[in-house]
Structure 1
Amino acid sequence: MITRFAAVAALLLATAAPATPPPGNSLPQPVLPTDTIPAPKDVPYPGGTMRLDVDATDTARGIFRVKQSIPVAADAGHMVLLYPEWLQGNHAPRGAISQLAGVKFSAGGRPLTWSRDPVDVYAFHLDVPAGAKAIEAEFQFLSPTRSDQGRVVMTPAMLNLQWNAVALYPAGWFTRRIDVQADVTYPKGWVAATALKGSKSGDTVRYETVDFDTLLDSPVFAGRNYRGEQLAPGVRLNIFADRPGQLAATQPQIDKHKALVTQAVKLFGAQHYDRYEFLFALSDMQSGIGLEHHRSSENGVGPDYFTDWDGAAGDRDLLPHEYTHSWNGKFRRGADLWTPDYRTPMRNSLLWVYEGQTQFWGTILAARSGLLSRDEALGSLAYDAAVYDTRAGRTWRPVVDTTNDPIMSARRPKGWTSWQRSEDYYVEGMLVWIEADSIIRQRSGGRRSLDDFARAFFGLRDRDWGEVTYTVEDVAAELNKVQPYDWGTFLKTRIYDVRPTGVLQGFTNGGYKLVYTDTPTGYLKAIEKASKGTNLSFSGGLTLNGEGTITGVMWDSPAFAAGLSVGQKIVGIDGMTWSAETLKDAIRAAATSKAPIPLTVQSGDRLRTVQLNYTGGLRYPRLERSTSGASTLDALLTPLK
């Protein structure tokens, strides 16, 4: 007897396309690429020191003009110059090659013909004439002039010079073995700050000779409106603003930044820099940033960080986060992330330590230093906990797979973030480390905590600002030294396995529970004010900007069921025109009436009416104490003495 399955299979086989195309069709074969770019060697570059000259005075048009002299290695012949592609803090190949223009090469005053590598577009091939001592390069780096072109890095008031944007390097050597000396000419009267030492002559600063890695790890902020504050010996806060009045930090605000340094050094027990420069831009013209370096960090927020302190609560964990990276990410680094140059692909599998634990310490240090009040810190944690407790994508995608997201999506916006997931290794990673801290504190009777792990893992080799790599086995082994436990299984189930539930365990262990009330926390109010938006993530499942355009819809939420999606605009609410308060009033009323909320939605030039079937009222997350005894979370937030 033939089964139904067998019959269907036989039919499919009988009707399948032939294994080869019909006779007479053309059948090309691939032309396999040949890599003609030399692999890096860990030996000194034999050509000598590169020279770099950057003219950064064209702030009206956002143009950096560059001249670079690259000594030729003996008998170089064919030479390949590379533009940095894989940039560590970006976790992806995002060197801004498209903004490089006007490229010309010469040797001994004679122009040279160049060709771009047909596979690696960051590589330039040159034939070096006999007797040439150096290649002279000229080009421009063109700052985007609007945010839809990319990150704006030069304005009439300030600039952010990232050396990877304005420098080439010879292929074939570890970049730490290539020396470079840079000069930069700034607009008249501007102040420049960087971790590099330099001497000024007129408007030009000549910086010390360093290896190429150190150069790229030492960016510059410069501007006409500047304020500097010494936070500790060797640690300086360099503040740049669009307008002078935005520099008006109060002494209590500065003292909180000083406390950040004090608390971080107490935590880690060592410093991995000879000096540290916070580069801090307050601007709505230059694009924001948060990027780590060994001896500095690039930080950019809105212009009212100091002058609207309460409203800037969402920005006040940025400096603690980037400062933590000096220890976690720059000094200790996942073994598969470290590379010998900026062409070799980086692998992100340990970003749940690199970024996840940095997100953890960024929040904790913000609380311990007073940059976030205790209530603001709890409000921040409550919101993060609620987001990940309800994140539908946790049912199919593990945290470790999100470490691929910077490469896969290049940080572009997504339509269904709650389902697709994004770079969740940051915040969900942080929640895992909160649970780990609670376990250590409980099992040790409060004698040990994740502070002990931080000191042992990140605090070794005081003043060493090289790199020490690690594996996941190293992380588990160090945790086990702090507190014996099955840390290998702990990390596997929370990071490497699909885990739809359990994200709140660290708070439960810590004596808190996640609850929802009809009033947002002060922290969430500040976030809404800063974004000029409306957050109804837990009150129907959507977020909107100030004009009513939907910026987020939670997967499988009532908003999802109503057919709403990102980019649509709510123009009417039960016969009334759009306003955030009208929508909130309708949600309140539906909690009593139990009736769906009619919404008029615009998509392009079309209008339609949908029914938002949500009757749960306004719901905002907060953390409440669930026990009257000792709390591991309270202990975690307490400043070190």
Structure 2
Amino acid sequence: MTASKFASSVSAAALALALAFPAHADVPAPLDQPYPGTIVLNVDATDLSQQVFRMHMTIPVKPGPLTLLYPQWLPANHGPNGPITQLAGLKFTANGKPVEWKRDPVQVYAFHLTVPEGATSLEAEYQYLSPLEPGQGRITMTDDILGVQWISTTLYPAGYVARGINVQANLKLPAGWQYATALETDNRAGDDVHFKSSDLETLMDSPLFAGRYSKRFDLDPGGKVPVRLNVFADSPESLEAKPEQIAAHRALVQQAYKLYGSYHYDHYDFLFALSDEFGGIGREHHQSSENGVKPGYFTDWAKSETGRDLLPHEFTHSWNGKFRRPAGQNVPNFNTPMDNELLWVYEGQTQYWGNVLAARSGLVSAAGARDALAASAARYDSVAGRAWRAVQDTVYDPILNARRGLGWPNWQRSEDYYVEGMLIWLDVDTRIRELSGDKRSLDDFARAFYSVNNGSHLPAFYTFDDVVATLNQVQPYDWAPFLRAKLDGHGPGAPLDGLARAGWKLVYTDTPTDYLKGVDDRNKVLDLTYSLGFTVTQDGAVRNVVWDGPAFRAGLAANTTVMAVGDRVYKPELLKAAVKDAKDGKPIRLLVRKGNVLRTISLDYRGGLRYPRLERIEGTKDRLTTIFSALK
């Protein structure tokens, strides 16, 4: 797409947002004009011991005022949270002499400077400081793995649409390391990698993983376009995958093609890190995805099922979120606000398809998929904050909260459009199946909505009305008021009609499912959400107190520590036993500490241990099994 066509396609929603957040007078607005020349970006990623990325950028310029921007609104993060505090050491020179800069007092991601007479290029030197500890942000460099997110290492000139700026990137790697990226490589000389020039949007959307230990798996042998699983790990042992494990990942690709009936990339690269130190992540890109989990994904396969919906989710985003995008995401550059109104489609439907594809491919068993759905249904059925805040309003959380921790998440709500959105789309799917006599389903919506312009990389934007129109094309119904009631309503409880229509109901038993055991083991917590109304870590730290639940009414908060159960020092097993004994009338007494104060509390609860699972509704059609079954 030319810069002219891109600029002319900027949506009315994006323009309205730009007016709502007017540019400071000194920050040029992005216009329909190509940037003259090609910017050269050099990244040195060899300082593993201090975890510092060092950049040198050469920018073609002409004398006079110039404003450079650091990306603020990050696609896939859904908010204005570019890591500008990690940018350091910023210096400019022209013709070998320093050029002073000044930060814009309103748009603090903008830097103003004046290019001196006679200068044709501006040299910039700066660093990106990877966090050293998790509390400082996501760690992107360790002794064994690094991740280059170009969007965190790049400055760009204001006044131009992103697609009109060309950048040629180069990377210096630690000795002997291998790398993977969707960016096209021109050549590699030793540990210096030179990439082909690309427009700024493509560069920003093509992160890179590199590592000391790596392995690449072909997920579509003989396919029309390559799909690769690029694995990086803390040790070579973590890379050992069995043939049947890779077969499930290959099945994921084929099931996605059968579902969406298209692809919109020249090649697709899963960037996959298995590490205790490299920061965990799940982030979508058009021709790749960044994925980071703990070691054991392959080597402890039986216990890693709870995390195997990550790759299907991010793969789905190539279709939903990167190819088909909400109209409010149609912005000219990375410092223009985005409209998150349709994230319940962008993320909510992706959450649905990610779980479905995980089951259809065999990455997750049918029982595991049901147990995960039960956990999601129970969690959102217990959200007290629904009484005052609709799920539609949660799409603004990435802007409001920037994914910081919450003291009362059950009451405040967070980014619930992901999983509650998934439950809404289950309702849509089963409703289409019921209305059509099981002749049509949400699969038909996926093919109609995502298969347009097969092979094209250019984003196709959509509105709420476009979603409704395609649903009506698949199955006539009052979809607009149906969706608005789900999105804007207040319950009571989660939208579980789709679950019942699928032939299953949410029940509670005194034994956790294997899925819940896996989650608790991974997070090292005892989950008593559906009994006492909180979770607690192995060392007694209280977490996630349910608003107005038994623990809440007893005065517990998430800054409290359980010291003892009755007269015995706290252990998770003792607390579980106390909950069981309370069914027989024995009180649950806890010694708790908040700050320097100790007190004893009594919890009024007699319901025993409660863990969610799904149970078949007798005499109904089992649509859920059909939904989770592989497409032929």
Provide TM-score, normalisation by structure 2: 0.95
Instruction: Say whether residues 1:625 and 2:616 are aligned partners.
Output: yes
Q: Among residues 111, 115, 120, which one is paired with 1:128 in the alignment?
A: 115
Instruction: Say whether residues 1:367 and 2:370 are aligned partners.
Output: no
Q: Which stretch has the larger CA shift, 630-639 or 259-268? A: 630-639
For residues 339 and 494 of structure 2, the distance between their equivalents in structure 1, rounded to whole angstroms, comes to 28
Q: Which residue of 2 aligns with 1:81?
A: 68
SS of the residue 1:173 aligns to: coil
Instruction: Say whether residues 1:39 and 2:26 are aligned partners.
Output: no
Residue 100 of structure 1 aligns to which amino acid in structure 2? Answer: L
8 Å contact from structure 1 (residues 99, 143) kept in 2: yes
Residue 304 of structure 1 deviates from its aligned partner by: 1.4
Change (3 A) 1:369 1:616: same
For residues 266 and 457 of structure 2, the distance between their equivalents in structure 1, rounded to whole angstroms, comes to 8
SS of the residue 1:553 aligns to: coil
Q: Which has the larger radius of gyration?
A: 1
8 Å contact from structure 2 (residues 228, 268) kept in 1: yes
Instruction: Say whether residues 1:65 and 2:54 are aligned partners.
Output: yes
Q: Which stretch has the larger CA shift, 619-628 or 151-160? A: 619-628
**Aligned 1:189-588 pairs, distance under 5 A:** 189-198=176-185, 199-232=187-220, 233=223, 234-501=226-493, 503-588=495-580
Residue 43 of structure 1 deviates from its aligned partner by: 2.3
8 Å contact from structure 1 (residues 392, 419) kept in 2: yes
8 Å contact from structure 1 (residues 493, 499) kept in 2: no
For residues 581 and 313 of structure 1, the distance between their equivalents in structure 2, rounded to whole angstroms, comes to 25
Residue 512 of structure 2 aligns to which amino acid in structure 1? Answer: P
Change (3 A) 1:613 1:106: same
For residues 266 and 567 of structure 1, the distance between their equivalents in structure 2, rounded to whole angstroms, comes to 49
Q: Which stretch has the larger CA shift, 246-255 or 511-520? A: 246-255
What do residues 340-391 of structure 1 show as CA deviations (whole Å, max 9, x unaligned)?
1011011111000000000000100001111110111000000100111111
Q: Which runs of 5+ in 2 are unaligned?
A: 1-21
SS of the residue 2:210 aligns to: strand
Residue 250 of structure 1 deviates from its aligned partner by: 1.2
For residues 289 and 103 of structure 1, the distance between their equivalents in structure 2, rounded to whole angstroms, comes to 28
Change (3 A) 1:33 1:160: closer
Q: Among residues 155, 163, 166, which one is paired with 1:179 in the alignment?
A: 166
Q: Which residue of 2 aligns with 1:603?
A: 594
Residue 33 of structure 1 deviates from its aligned partner by: 9.4
RMSD between superposed Cα atoms in Å: 1.2
8 Å contact from structure 1 (residues 283, 303) kept in 2: yes
Residue 499 of structure 1 deviates from its aligned partner by: 3.0
8 Å contact from structure 2 (residues 507, 613) kept in 1: yes
Residue 555 of structure 1 deviates from its aligned partner by: 0.7
Q: Which stretch has the larger CA shift, 492-501 or 32-41? A: 32-41
What do residues 109-157 of structure 1 show as CA deviations (whole Å, max 9, x unaligned)?
1110111111111111011112211111001111011011111100010
For residues 91 and 499 of structure 2, the distance between their equivalents in structure 1, rounded to whole angstroms, comes to 59
Q: Which residue of 1 aligns with 2:104?
A: 117
SS of the residue 1:381 aligns to: helix
Q: Which residue of 2 aligns with 1:639?
A: 630
8 Å contact from structure 1 (residues 229, 238) kept in 2: yes
What do residues 521-578 of structure 1 show as CA deviations (whole Å, max 9, x unaligned)?
1111111111111111111111111211011111111011111111211110111111
State percent identity of aligned pairs: 53
8 Å contact from structure 2 (residues 232, 273) kept in 1: yes
SS of the residue 2:544 aligns to: strand
What do residues 461-501 of structure 1 show as CA deviations (whole Å, max 9, x unaligned)?
11111211111111111100000000001111001233333
What do residues 596-627 of structure 1 show as CA deviations (whole Å, max 9, x unaligned)?
30001011222110011111001100011103
For residues 415 and 620 of structure 2, the distance between their equivalents in structure 1, rounded to whole angstroms, comes to 35
Q: Which residue of 2 aligns with 1:20?
A: none
Q: Which runs of 5+ in 1 are unaligned?
A: 1-31
For residues 628 and 299 of structure 1, the distance between their equivalents in structure 2, rounded to whole angstroms, comes to 42
8 Å contact from structure 1 (residues 311, 527) kept in 2: no
8 Å contact from structure 1 (residues 442, 632) kept in 2: no
8 Å contact from structure 1 (residues 238, 280) kept in 2: yes
For residues 310 and 578 of structure 1, the distance between their equivalents in structure 2, rounded to whole angstroms, comes to 30
Q: Which residue of 2 aligns with 1:4?
A: none
Q: Which stretch has the larger CA shift, 292-301 or 98-107? A: 98-107
Q: Which residue of 1 aligns with 2:41?
A: 52
8 Å contact from structure 2 (residues 24, 107) kept in 1: no
For residues 597 and 459 of structure 1, the distance between their equivalents in structure 2, rounded to whole angstroms, comes to 57
Q: Which residue of 1 aligns with 2:5?
A: none
Residue 35 of structure 1 deviates from its aligned partner by: 2.4
For residues 126 and 363 of structure 1, the distance between their equivalents in structure 2, rounded to whole angstroms, comes to 49
What do residues 274-313 of structure 1 show as CA deviations (whole Å, max 9, x unaligned)?
1000000001101100000000000000111112222222
For residues 553 and 76 of structure 1, the distance between their equivalents in structure 2, rounded to whole angstroms, comes to 59
SS of the residue 1:252 aligns to: helix
Q: Which residue of 2 aligns with 1:21?
A: none
For residues 33 and 462 of structure 2, the distance between their equivalents in structure 1, rounded to whole angstroms, comes to 24
Residue 76 of structure 1 deviates from its aligned partner by: 5.0
Residue 502 of structure 1 deviates from its aligned partner by: 5.3
Instruction: Say whether residues 1:145 and 2:132 are aligned partners.
Output: yes
Residue 476 of structure 1 aligns to which amino acid in structure 2? Answer: V
8 Å contact from structure 1 (residues 313, 527) kept in 2: no
Q: Which stretch has the larger CA shift, 504-513 or 75-84? A: 75-84
For residues 401 and 626 of structure 1, the distance between their equivalents in structure 2, rounded to whole angstroms, comes to 33
Change (3 A) 1:34 1:427: closer
Residue 404 of structure 1 deviates from its aligned partner by: 0.7
8 Å contact from structure 1 (residues 379, 623) kept in 2: yes
SS of the residue 2:53 aligns to: strand
Residue 635 of structure 1 deviates from its aligned partner by: 1.3
8 Å contact from structure 1 (residues 299, 319) kept in 2: yes
For residues 34 and 183 of structure 1, the distance between their equivalents in structure 2, rounded to whole angstroms, comes to 33
For residues 114 and 366 of structure 1, the distance between their equivalents in structure 2, rounded to whole angstroms, comes to 50
For residues 156 and 428 of structure 2, the distance between their equivalents in structure 1, rounded to whole angstroms, comes to 43
Residue 613 of structure 1 aligns to which amino acid in structure 2? Answer: D
For residues 273 and 330 of structure 1, the distance between their equivalents in structure 2, rounded to whole angstroms, comes to 10
Residue 206 of structure 1 deviates from its aligned partner by: 0.3
For residues 262 and 319 of structure 2, the distance between their equivalents in structure 1, rounded to whole angstroms, comes to 9
- How many residues of Structure 1 are paired with residues of Structure 2 in the alignment? 606
